[in-house]
Amino acid sequence: MRSHRLLTLAMLLGTSFVSRPGLAAPADRPNILWLVAEDFGPHLGCYGTQQVWTPNIDKLAADGVRYTRAYTTAPVCSVSRSAFMTGMYQTTIGAHNHRSHRDDGYQLPAGVRIAPAWFRDAGYFTANVRTFPASANVTGTGKTDWNFTAEEKPFDSGRWEDLKTHQPFLAQVNFKETHRAFVSPKRADPAKVIIPPYYPDHPVTREDYAKYLDAATELDEKVGRILRQLDADGLAARTIVVFTSDHGEAHVRGKQFCYEEGLHVPLIVRWPASLPAPAHYRAGAVDDQLVAAIDLLPTLLDVAAGQKKPAGMQGQVFLGDRAEPPRRYVFGARDRCDETVFRFRTVRDARYRYIRNFMPERPFLQANDYKERSYPVWNLIKELAAQGKLTPTQAVLAAPTMPPEEFYDLESDPYEIHNLVDSPDPANQAVLKRLRVELERWIEESNDQGQIPEPAEVAAAKGATKPVADPNGPGVAKKARRKNAVK
């Protein structure tokens, strides 16, 4: 079945790469600076977050467009990065299990390529910047973290100094500040941070959340230094700046889970004021359209490089003359993360989110060495549950099983607390039916490889349950713990 699906995908994908008529030569096309935070939700001053100080990114948003409904397709780094760097759903290209296919010779389906390869063909120099001039006082991580080995050269350089003499460029800078462990200077007052109601209002929770916001403040300072370097080098006037995150926030119900907290990310796009702006771009605007992270690659290819979206690429163009109709839905998925096996699929529209859990017999707090070591609130919830000190809303996270379906009205219930699957309201049931249909359609049309269990020997190498349970049915064997869980 898997071979048949990939063959079908290969037939759908192509390598067509058509320049927009009349577009200037590559040397005159805008540069792209793509800033990627880690494990970070939209917790910036410009998004209304308190106890965080982010003047540099806030200014970037004021000068550009701030998107309020941007979502990654997965709530964990390697999976999400595999998706947005190819413009394809990770479930379609076989990259849906965290930190998989690193040394097994796995190749991407025919026609699927990483962003630098597409831009290199369009005459762009590509860089994943790690080193900067000493005066900038900043470094990048150079992170790629893909669930495949790229056949083509990933990037041409890791040095900022190469950008000025190699234009146009696609330069990505990756930041680690908001990835655990948080080590930033203290600024946020734990007593004043806003804690989601599904977490216990406890000193441990408040201190942990304050550390996360302090990391966001430090991230902003780092972004500010890079933007000042861009200006000092005379590059700002010809460079598109994109700021986003690889997935949602590094908290218990965020990373690795398919709630808003795990998938919702900041997205800011600033077009250089000295260049004609593309259609649908208005400097200083706030845009509420649904955007998927996989939409960035085809959009930047079109509006910057002047290249028509490659045939079969699943991301949608959301700016420019060739912008596609705004999305009605965004989709997300989670499969094995580290040694912990779940299978979630989710869809949301402008107002509602629906989550399908294919392994409801497993607890939310299913053992995960990384979270147990790095997330103090994870263990706090278990301790308070044993003492009977959780509210009913908080106790849901400590339950022995999970609901097979979850359905939330994000307008009236932004924290996704009230599951409306059994709501007697006919209007709710009509929406639920529609979202079920849309999710099933997406699973089928995208050739979701998660329908096929990961080979038992592969999962076992990650310390997962042996044997891997059928994702469409029950059956949980004893878990073999990893000695060193991947962070």
Please give the pLDDT value at position 106: 86
pLDDT band at 170 (very low <50, low <70, confident <90, very high): very high
Mean pLDDT computed over every residue of the chain: 90
CB 250 within 8 A of CB 177: no
DSSP state of 19: B
Please give the pLDDT value at position 46: 98
Please give the pLDDT value at position 79: 97
What confidence tens digit (pLDDT) does each residue in 197-212 have? 999 999 999 999 999 9
What confidence tens digit (pLDDT) does each residue in 345-404 have? 999 999 999 999 999 999 999 999 999 999 999 999 999 999 999 999 999 999 999 999
- Other C-beta atoms closer than 10 Å to the C-beta of 11 total 12
The average pLDDT across 155-179 equals 98
Pick the range with the lowest mean pLDDT from 46-55, 314-323, 340-349, 471-480.
Answer: 471-480
**To the nearest whole percent, how much of the chain has pLDDT over 90?**
84
Looking at the predicted structure, is the pLDDT value of residue 485 above 80? no
Looking at the predicted structure, is the pLDDT value of residue 224 above 90? yes
Q: Phi, psi at residue 234, to the nearest 5°?
A: 70, 25
* Cα distance between residue 118 and residue 325, in whole Å: 23
Looking at the predicted structure, is the pLDDT value of residue 477 above 70? no
Structure-block tokens of residue 469: 């349970």
CB 320 within 8 A of CB 32: no
pLDDT band at 136 (very low <50, low <70, confident <90, very high): very high
Looking at the predicted structure, is the pLDDT value of residue 470 above 90? no
Looking at the predicted structure, is the pLDDT value of residue 13 above 80? no
Please give the pLDDT value at position 2: 45
Looking at the predicted structure, is the pLDDT value of residue 410 above 60? yes
Please give the pLDDT value at position 22: 42
Q: Can you name the CATH fold of 2-328?
A: Alkaline Phosphatase, subunit A (3.40.720)
Please give the pLDDT value at position 478: 29
Please give the pLDDT value at position 25: 63
Q: For 179, left (φ over 0), alpha (ψ -120 to 50), or beta?
A: beta
Please give the pLDDT value at position 147: 93
DSSP state of 457: H
Please give the pLDDT value at position 466: 41
What confidence tens digit (pLDDT) does each residue in 277-312 have? 999 999 999 999 999 999 999 999 999 999 999 999
Please give the pLDDT value at position 24: 52
Looking at the predicted structure, is the pLDDT value of residue 454 above 70? yes
Q: How many CA atoms lie within 13 A of 365 on its CB side?
A: 19
Looking at the predicted structure, is the pLDDT value of residue 469 above 50? no
**Prior bond to 426 cis, omega within 30?**
no
Please give the pLDDT value at position 9: 53
Q: How many CA atoms lie within 13 A of 144 on its CB side?
A: 16
pLDDT band at 486 (very low <50, low <70, confident <90, very high): very low
What confidence tens digit (pLDDT) does each residue in 42-74 have? 999 999 999 999 999 999 999 999 999 999 999
Please give the pLDDT value at position 53: 98
Structure-block tokens of residue 201: 């209002």
pLDDT band at 465 (very low <50, low <70, confident <90, very high): low
Residue boundaries of the structural domains of the chain: 2-328, 333-461
